[in-house]
Amino acid sequence: MASTRRDPSEPATTDYERTCEDGAAGTEHGRAVRDVLDRIGDKWSLLVIGTLRHERRRFTELQRHIPGISQRMLTLTLRQLERDGLITRTVHAEVPPRVEYELTSLGGTLIVHAMALAHWAIENRPQIEAARVAYDSTHAR
Protein backbone atom coordinates (compact mmCIF):
# COMPACT_ATOMS: atom_id res chain seq x y z
CA MET A 1 0.00 0.00 0.00
CA ALA A 2 1.32 3.44 -0.93
CA SER A 3 2.34 5.83 1.78
CA THR A 4 -0.11 8.61 2.59
CA ARG A 5 2.63 10.90 3.93
CA ARG A 6 2.82 14.20 2.13
CA ASP A 7 6.06 15.76 0.93
CA PRO A 8 6.42 18.92 3.08
CA SER A 9 7.66 20.88 0.06
CA GLU A 10 4.31 20.35 -1.71
CA PRO A 11 1.29 22.49 -0.86
CA ALA A 12 -1.33 20.95 1.42
CA THR A 13 -4.18 19.13 -0.29
CA THR A 14 -7.32 21.24 -0.45
CA ASP A 15 -10.87 20.04 0.18
CA TYR A 16 -11.55 20.50 -3.51
CA GLU A 17 -8.62 18.29 -4.47
CA ARG A 18 -9.84 15.62 -2.06
CA THR A 19 -13.16 15.55 -3.92
CA CYS A 20 -11.32 13.99 -6.85
CA GLU A 21 -9.89 11.14 -4.80
CA ASP A 22 -11.23 7.60 -5.09
CA GLY A 23 -13.69 6.27 -2.55
CA ALA A 24 -17.20 6.95 -1.37
CA ALA A 25 -16.42 10.23 0.41
CA GLY A 26 -14.66 11.63 -2.66
CA THR A 27 -17.61 10.59 -4.81
CA GLU A 28 -20.08 12.35 -2.52
CA HIS A 29 -18.00 15.52 -2.40
CA GLY A 30 -17.64 15.41 -6.17
CA ARG A 31 -21.41 15.19 -6.54
CA ALA A 32 -21.84 18.14 -4.18
CA VAL A 33 -19.39 20.25 -6.19
CA ARG A 34 -21.03 19.32 -9.50
CA ASP A 35 -24.50 20.03 -8.11
CA VAL A 36 -23.56 23.54 -6.97
CA LEU A 37 -21.60 24.28 -10.14
CA ASP A 38 -24.59 23.16 -12.22
CA ARG A 39 -26.70 25.76 -10.42
CA ILE A 40 -24.36 28.74 -10.40
CA GLY A 41 -22.66 27.84 -13.66
CA ASP A 42 -25.78 28.11 -15.78
CA LYS A 43 -26.30 31.05 -18.09
CA TRP A 44 -28.35 33.25 -15.76
CA SER A 45 -27.88 32.41 -12.05
CA LEU A 46 -24.73 34.44 -11.41
CA LEU A 47 -26.21 37.39 -13.26
CA VAL A 48 -29.30 37.27 -11.04
CA ILE A 49 -27.17 36.89 -7.90
CA GLY A 50 -24.93 39.76 -8.97
CA THR A 51 -27.92 41.97 -9.71
CA LEU A 52 -29.29 41.31 -6.22
CA ARG A 53 -25.97 41.90 -4.45
CA HIS A 54 -26.77 45.43 -3.25
CA GLU A 55 -30.54 45.51 -2.85
CA ARG A 56 -33.78 43.62 -3.20
CA ARG A 57 -35.52 43.96 -6.54
CA ARG A 58 -38.85 43.30 -8.16
CA PHE A 59 -39.18 40.89 -11.06
CA THR A 60 -39.41 43.61 -13.70
CA GLU A 61 -36.36 45.38 -12.26
CA LEU A 62 -34.38 42.17 -12.51
CA GLN A 63 -35.54 41.66 -16.08
CA ARG A 64 -34.46 45.21 -16.99
CA HIS A 65 -31.03 44.76 -15.42
CA ILE A 66 -30.29 41.41 -17.10
CA PRO A 67 -30.29 41.94 -20.87
CA GLY A 68 -31.50 39.04 -22.94
CA ILE A 69 -33.20 37.01 -20.23
CA SER A 70 -36.74 35.97 -21.07
CA GLN A 71 -39.59 36.10 -18.57
CA ARG A 72 -39.68 32.29 -18.51
CA MET A 73 -35.94 31.90 -17.89
CA LEU A 74 -35.96 34.53 -15.16
CA THR A 75 -38.89 32.77 -13.49
CA LEU A 76 -37.16 29.37 -13.65
CA THR A 77 -33.84 30.78 -12.44
CA LEU A 78 -35.46 32.59 -9.51
CA ARG A 79 -37.33 29.42 -8.48
CA GLN A 80 -34.16 27.35 -8.51
CA LEU A 81 -32.17 29.95 -6.58
CA GLU A 82 -34.98 30.16 -4.02
CA ARG A 83 -35.10 26.35 -3.78
CA ASP A 84 -31.35 26.28 -3.16
CA GLY A 85 -31.67 28.88 -0.39
CA LEU A 86 -29.69 31.56 -2.23
CA ILE A 87 -32.53 34.08 -2.57
CA THR A 88 -35.82 34.77 -0.86
CA ARG A 89 -39.09 35.75 -2.48
CA THR A 90 -41.37 38.09 -0.53
CA VAL A 91 -44.97 38.66 -1.60
CA HIS A 92 -46.48 41.85 -0.18
CA ALA A 93 -50.25 41.83 0.35
CA GLU A 94 -51.04 44.80 -1.84
CA VAL A 95 -53.17 45.43 -4.89
CA PRO A 96 -51.59 44.80 -7.28
CA PRO A 97 -49.37 42.28 -5.48
CA ARG A 98 -45.74 43.29 -5.09
CA VAL A 99 -43.10 40.55 -5.16
CA GLU A 100 -39.48 41.23 -4.24
CA TYR A 101 -36.38 39.07 -4.40
CA GLU A 102 -33.24 39.40 -2.31
CA LEU A 103 -30.15 37.41 -1.48
CA THR A 104 -30.15 35.29 1.64
CA SER A 105 -27.10 35.32 3.89
CA LEU A 106 -26.02 32.11 2.13
CA GLY A 107 -26.42 33.75 -1.27
CA GLY A 108 -24.40 36.72 -0.03
CA THR A 109 -21.44 34.47 0.75
CA LEU A 110 -21.31 33.58 -2.93
CA ILE A 111 -20.68 37.17 -4.07
CA VAL A 112 -16.97 37.35 -3.24
CA HIS A 113 -16.33 34.05 -5.04
CA ALA A 114 -18.45 34.99 -8.03
CA MET A 115 -16.66 38.34 -8.34
CA ALA A 116 -13.27 36.59 -8.14
CA LEU A 117 -14.33 34.27 -10.95
CA ALA A 118 -15.65 37.19 -13.00
CA HIS A 119 -12.39 39.12 -12.56
CA TRP A 120 -10.40 36.01 -13.50
CA ALA A 121 -12.50 35.58 -16.66
CA ILE A 122 -12.07 39.22 -17.68
CA GLU A 123 -8.35 39.21 -16.96
CA ASN A 124 -7.70 35.96 -18.84
CA ARG A 125 -10.14 36.32 -21.72
CA PRO A 126 -7.48 37.51 -24.24
CA GLN A 127 -5.30 34.48 -23.47
CA ILE A 128 -8.25 32.11 -23.75
CA GLU A 129 -9.35 33.64 -27.06
CA ALA A 130 -5.77 33.39 -28.40
CA ALA A 131 -5.61 29.75 -27.34
CA ARG A 132 -8.90 29.04 -29.13
CA VAL A 133 -7.66 30.70 -32.33
CA ALA A 134 -4.42 28.71 -32.17
CA TYR A 135 -6.29 25.46 -31.54
CA ASP A 136 -8.82 26.11 -34.29
CA SER A 137 -6.09 26.93 -36.81
CA THR A 138 -4.26 23.66 -36.12
CA HIS A 139 -7.41 21.54 -35.89
CA ALA A 140 -9.28 22.86 -38.91
CA ARG A 141 -11.60 20.33 -40.47
- Residue 2 domain-assigned (yes or no): no
Query: Residue 53: which domain range?
Result: 17-138
Question: What pLDDT is recorded for position 38?
Answer: 83
- Residue 8 domain-assigned (yes or no): no
Residue 115 to residue 134: CA distance in whole angstroms: 28
The pLDDT profile of the chain, 141 residues, written as one tens digit per residue, is 444 555 555 555 555 555 555 555 567 878 888 888 888 888 899 999 999 999 999 999 999 999 999 999 999 999 999 999 999 999 999 998 899 999 999 999 999 988 898 899 999 999 999 999 999 999 987
CATH number at residue 38: 1.10.10.10
Rounded to the nearest 10°, the torsion over CA 33, 117, 52, 91 is -10
- Residue 61 domain-assigned (yes or no): yes
* Cα dist from 30 to 25, 36, 37, 43, whole Å: 8, 10, 10, 21
- Residue 4 domain-assigned (yes or no): no
Provide the number of structural domains found in the chain: 1
Q: pTM higher than 0.75, yes or no?
A: no
